[in-house]
């Protein structure tokens, strides 16, 4: 019997939301701030307006967030040499280090429960990773 893809999507969403809630801490960054830093890491320097659109927030909200991230030393602002009105944002080394620490913390939270799964369950998760990576890539704009 073929898999109901809508049912699968709902189950996958439940797992993704559950993993996000259980592995993330909001003590250092909000989810939007972390997503913004991750976007800068993945795409490189970006215009403030483009970041706002990517993260699904208003430009004034992104402006306020970027101000906080800049003050914290996580993001650097520079001008666009071709258009003085444009602000270009990039991830700083400190921002990259924070993302690395957050990833290590999340991985550590997952490693302990993974140690309690049986070998077949671990093998199933391992086998699913390439397909999940392709699904993630397909969702990229």
The CATH number covering residue 18 comes to 1.10.10.10
Q: Which residues form the domain of 47? A: 5-139
- Residue 61 CA to residue 111 CA, distance in Å, equals 35
**pLDDT band for position 48 (cuts 50, 70, 90):** very high
Q: What is the pTM assigned to this prediction? A: 0.79
**pLDDT band for position 12 (cuts 50, 70, 90):** very high
How many domains does the chain fold into? 1
- Residue 46 CA to residue 63 CA, distance in Å, equals 13
For residue 57, pLDDT beyond 90: yes
- Pick the residue with more confidence: 126 or 21? 126
Q: Under a CB-based contact definition with an 8 Å cutoff, are residues 4 and 12 in contact?
A: no
Distant-in-sequence, close-in-space partners of 119: CB < 8 Å, separation ≥ 6: none
Q: Under a CB-based contact definition with an 8 Å cutoff, are residues 88 and 96 in contact?
A: no
């Amino acid at each position: 019997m073929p898999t109901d893809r809508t049912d699968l999507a709902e189950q996958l969403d439940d797992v993704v939301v559950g993993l996000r809630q259980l592995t993330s801490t909001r003590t250092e960054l909000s989810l939007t701030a972390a997503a913004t830093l991750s976007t800068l890491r993945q795409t490189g320097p970006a215009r403030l307006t483009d970041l706002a659109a990517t993260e699904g927030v208003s430009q004034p909200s992104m402006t306020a967030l970027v101000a906080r991230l800049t003050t914290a030393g996580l993001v650097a602002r520079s001008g666009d040499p071709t258009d003085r009105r444009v602000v270009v944002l990039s991830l700083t080394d400190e921002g990259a280090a924070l993302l690395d620490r957050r990833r290590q913390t999340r991985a550590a939270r997952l490693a302990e429960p993974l140690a309690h799964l049986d070998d077949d369950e671990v093998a199933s998760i391992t086998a699913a990773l390439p397909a999940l990576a392709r699904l993630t890539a397909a969702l990229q704009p």
